[in-house]
Structure formats: C-alpha cells, structure tokens
Structure 1
Amino acid sequence: MDGPGAPVAGADAPGGRADGGWADGGRADGGRADGGRAGGGWAGGGWADGGRADGGWSGEVSAGGDRLRVEARAVGGLRHPNVVEVYEFGEEPGEFGAPATPYVVMELVEGRTLAQVFADGPLPWRTSVRICSQVAAGLAAAHAGGVAHRDVKPGNVMVTSGGVKLLDFGISAPIGSADEQDGEVLGTPAYLAPERLDGGPVRAAADVYGVGLLLYRALAGRMPWQASTVTEMVRAHLYAEPPALPVIEGLPPVVSALLQDCLAKRPHQRPAAAEVARILEDSLRPVSARLSSSRRHFRRERRKVPSR
C-alpha cells in the first residue's frame, strides 16, 4: 500500500532516543520522539525556561522556550499521518515563586531518523521515492495551514515501520512573514534554499528545495555538491547546478525531471509540495496504471480547451 501512511522498508531497525535537542536549526537526534513524562520532565517536547505572565508564556523565554512555543503552535492544528502530532501544550506552574515552565506533549514516534538511514548508503529508488513522497505530503499539509517548516533535513525526518513522520517545527514560520530574525537566517546551511540567503519572505518553495536535496541524497548516496565549508555550500546553493543523477536501473524519468524542478534556483520554478507528493506517489504505481492515469488527465485537460 502506498500513500501517506505506507510502510517504509527497513524502517523498524533499532535506533537511539532523542529528548528534544536543538542544533543546526533544530534536530531530533536518535530513534524516539516521546510524548510522556520521564524523570520529572517531558521527553520529546521537553521543558523550556521562561514564560509570560499574562496567562500565556511568562517572563523571559529562552531560545528553547521560543522554539517549543513555535513548534506547539505550528503543529498543534495539523492532523496528518506524516506530521508528528501535538497532544497538549501549556505551562507547568513554578515552585516557590519561580516562573512557569512551558511544555509540549507530542506523539510517541519510534524508528530511525533519515540521517541514520542514510548512513547505510544509497537507498533503493522505490524506498527513496516513498520516503520523499511522504515528507512532501506532510509539508503540503503544513503549507495548506500557512506554515513553512524551514528546516527540512534528514535529522528531522523519522522513518518508522508505519511510514514517515516530519519532526521539529521549532523554527517554522508563517508563510509570507519575514524570513530573517535580527539579521540572521535560521536553518541548516547544507539544506538552505537559495532565496533564503537573499532575505525576503518565508516561502513554501524553500521546503520543496529541501525535499529535492533529500531525494537526491537518498538516490545518489551523497549531496549534489561537495563542499567542505559553509561558504562553499552557500555558493553552491546560489550558483551551482546539481549534476545529473547516476544511472539508476528502473528509476522513472519523471522522478529525475521532478528532482531537477525541486532544485531550481528560483522558487517560482519549483512545484508545490502537494504536486511533488502526487508525482512521486504516482511513480510507484505500475507503468500501465501510470499510463492510464495520464490518459485520463489528458482527456480532462483537453475538455477544458475553449472552442474557437
């Protein structure tokens, strides 16, 4: 069975455990994102210092507290099989006059991060396409809700026996809002879309660029560009065209073409995440089924052409 909740081969291999660390823009390291209490804290979402005194988030909020609040608000309204679910968020009253501590309780997700899966080398093309199709489907749901993830990378994708989960919306932002914060760009340099380096508004297309990089790495076993410094990586994002994929037996040409579209330098040239998910999922179907679907689509489009 394909689709948003389709199982991913090899996903149930054992992994580590992550209790919500933040690095390189935000990351869930290891094999478990936990939604219950552990040792007096909240595993997964975790504790964050600070809060606001007006019944929301009180006082001085640390960077971790800000990210926790952003993630809770971004994911709290999303219900999609490829997005980690938030069950509850609020504040734990402080003791002895201490400020309240914000917390978030999230879905328990067990598996391996895509970063851990990549450590095993290139993936079969069907596995690569299925994973990235589900990542794109989760992003499409977020985009439909007006939110861009802004940190699509292997460490923020959990591969489970039941499908893929998109994690860590800690630096997500409303589409159309200012992308820079105090002159800084949040995210991971290796996965930053070119337009994010030039400022401007938050765009959903930047997440699609991240999906393109995930797909390239999954299929080729490496990134499109070899860069040893952040400066070299930034220059590659801005100016270097991604090299063609190595020959992969059985890979549908539509996947290679879509990959190039996702990595287009200009955001308006990239497809929407929903379209990426649809094309990738369709590429997993038997050739006869794909041809039949294409014919039906052509007939629908032909009927739309006005008569002269």
Structure 2
Amino acid sequence: MEQLHPRDPDHIGPYRLLARLGTGGMGQVFLGRSDQPGRESDTGLGARTGTDTGTGPGPGADAGAAGHTAAVKLIHPHLAAHPGFRARFRREAAAARVVGGAWTAPVLDADPDAEVPWLATAYIAGPSLRQAVGRDFGPLPVASLRVLAQGLAYALQDIHRAGLVHRDLKPGNILLTVDGPRVIDFGIARTLEATGDPVLTQTGELLGSPGFLAPEQVYGTPVTPACDVFGLGAVLAYAATGRLPFGDPEQSGGIAALLMRVTEAEPDLSGVPAELRDLVHDCLRKDPAARPTPAEVLARAAEDAGSTEAAGDSGNAPALWLPGALIAQLGQHAVALLEREASGPDRPAPPAPAPGRVCRTIG
C-alpha cells in the first residue's frame, strides 16, 4: 500500500479511499472501504468479511447488511473518452460480475456512467505471484506448483463458464492467499483491446507481459479460452523457475524478438520439475486446439499427487500449500489491512498556509 496523493479523491462511488494499491494499463487502483453491503473480501488468511449480496448504489447493486473493503480501479480519463468504451466497459463488467467460484477476486460493482468510470473488486490481502517469485522468495516447490496449477484451472473454468476469456493471465494478475491462488482482472482486457490505444500498445501495458501471450494473440487473430491455457502454462514455468519460458523482453531484440520466439520457438522448460514438465509443455503448444482444457489441466496436475496436494473447487488449498516464509508474509499483509481499515485514509498532512494568506473553503 502507498499513501494517497493530495489530489486523489476522498471517495469513488460508495468507497472511502484508504490508500493507493498501484497503477496499471487501465487506471489507478485504490484500497477503498464501503459501509454498504458487498460480496466477500479475502484477508489472505481465510478470514473474510461482508456478504455475498452485491454492493453499494452502483448499477445492479443488491441489498445486504455489512460493509466491505475493495480494490477500486479508477479508469484513465483518456480511455473513458474513447468512442464506445463505456458501452463495452458496461458489458464486460456485467459479465465479470456473474463469474462464480472461489478462485477469483469477484467483481463487486462498477459505474460506467460516472464522470470517470470505476470498477471495484474484492480486495485480496496477499502478494502477487510476480512479487513472491520475482522479488521476495524465488521459485516455488513442486507441491506449491501443483496447487497453483489446480487453482488457476478452477478459476479459468469459472471465467470461461461466464462466457469470458481472461486474455491477460500473468503473475501480476494472480494473488496468493493461505487458501490458494486468486485470479484478478478477468473479463476487462477485451475492453482495453477494443480501444486500440497506441500508448498502451507502445508501452506494453495492453499486452501485459508479452511473454505470457499466446501466439494467436500475437498474430491478432480471434482468441478462444485456449489462450488462457497458454497463459497458465507460461505462469507455471515462471513460478517454477523465476524465468519467462520464451526469454526476457530485455534480451537482445527486445519485445519484438520475444514475440517471435513465442510464435516460432520452443519454450525453455529447464528447471521445471519433471512431474509437471509435460503438462506445461502441452499448455504452451502453438496450436490452440492441441492445448489441454482447464479440466484436463486439473486432472493431470492431480496425477500421482497425494490428497494433501489436491485442491478442491471450494477454493480451499491444502494446509500450508506455500513455503513457511510466504505464509508469514500473508500474515503481515492481513495485519496491514486491518490496521489501515482501523486508522482510516493514509494522506499526507496538508501544507501549512503561507504567512499573511487567508485560506477559505470553496463550495
């Protein structure tokens, strides 16, 4: 979490802003708290708050009896100004709200008609897979990888069942909790793609991390749920090794060379545990029709695994599915959330007025 900036709003819709969470291709993300009813938020330690009844006064919100904390995404104004964006955003957000299951961070509410559109999802108080593997702890052990594969497959089943394709499954869009992985930012990538925004394309924000794109996405051909299975395979390879399976975009040739390797070369799976190497390889096949379905990923990830390594569709991973150091970090995230909720917004102190000047309030 980061301190709010002086010009950040106090509220977005029914959400009182508490802190900044980050910035992405779609907009600025805040931690927000609403006293109105909402679907559950996950502290990362299995302790959840709220009810499963929708949120706030936004479109389609339901009634309920408890407040909730959310990750609130404020859309970049230049995207909102793009012709047709709001209509697409409304359709995609409505579709994402019906995604069921326990392996995703549910969409709580959205307002495509606000002056600046926004989207709220349940807040998951845990590190992303990118942070855990790339910054803090390094590659995951095989037992964790197996649960990761199962959790992502369950999430993709739920997303695809709602008629959506994630299109941007990558380590930064996977959050870790004691109950298993949680997939975020599903269903909205198509809205971004439809803008054809050159800034996003040039900076790579639209593509996410190019090493996790399926070949058909590189070619710009119509995508199917199979593109998400390719992303799942790339994510598993990264989680197992700390490397992208088709090389780093910082290598010679940059992103263009990386995308060519995605479409033409075989992945580098050295370091992927032998038990999962064939599965990862099949997920990364160039032909979408040759990739396994999420159901097949589930079955294969569970092969030869004991019951202590099996994840269920209820959203509960085996106890201690992550290394102990990561479990400890989850506790720190949960405590930070509770402290932030208790202390209120984290804002810088206002500057002292200049001598001899009179301050007044407008409005």
TM exceeding 0.5: yes
Deviation sequence 1:80-133 (CA, Å, 0-9, x none): 11111122223686xxxxxx4433332121100000111221110111121122
Quote the residue 1:130 is aligned against: 147
Identity of aligned residues (%): 29
- Is the 1:70–1:172 contact (alpha carbons within 8 Å) kept by the matching residues of 2? no
Matched, 1:47 2:74: yes
- Is the 1:71–1:171 contact (alpha carbons within 8 Å) kept by the matching residues of 2? yes
Deviates more, 1:216-225 or 1:119-128: 216-225
Aligned Cα RMSD in Å?
3.6
Q: Distance in 1 between matches of 2:103 and 2:158?
A: 9
For 1:232, the aligned partner's letter is A
Quote the residue 1:53 is aligned against: none
2:186 aligned residue (162, 169, 194): 169
SS state at 2:151 partner: helix
Quote the residue 1:196 is aligned against: 217
1:104 aligned residue (110, 119, 124): 119
Task: List alignment gaps of at least 5 residues for structure 1.
Answer: 1-16, 51-58, 94-99, 290-308
Q: Distance in 1 between matches of 2:32 and 2:88?
A: 17
SS state at 2:120 partner: strand
Change (3 A) 1:115 1:283: farther
1:90 aligned residue (111, 123, 139): 111
For 1:187, the aligned partner's letter is L
Change (3 A) 1:244 1:91: closer
Aligned ranges 1:17-166 → 2 under 5 Å: 19=21, 21-23=23-25, 34=31, 36-37=33-34, 44-48=71-75, 60=81, 69=90, 72-90=93-111, 100-119=115-134, 120-166=137-183
Q: Distance in 2 between matches of 1:79 and 1:259?
A: 26
Q: Distance in 2 between matches of 1:278 and 1:28?
A: 38
- Distance apart, 1:220 and its partner CA: 2.2
Deviation sequence 1:215-251 (CA, Å, 0-9, x none): 1111223222334210111111011112343374xx5
Aligned ranges 1:224-263 → 2 under 5 Å: 224-227=245-248, 228=251, 229-246=254-271, 248=273, 251-252=274-275, 255-263=276-284
SS state at 2:181 partner: strand
Change (3 A) 1:128 1:106: same
Change (3 A) 1:106 1:155: same
Change (3 A) 1:18 1:136: farther
Task: List alignment gaps of at least 5 residues for structure 2.
Answer: 1-18, 36-68, 311-363
Aligned residues, how many?
243
Q: Distance in 1 between matches of 2:90 and 2:21?
A: 16
Quote the residue 2:207 is aligned against: 187
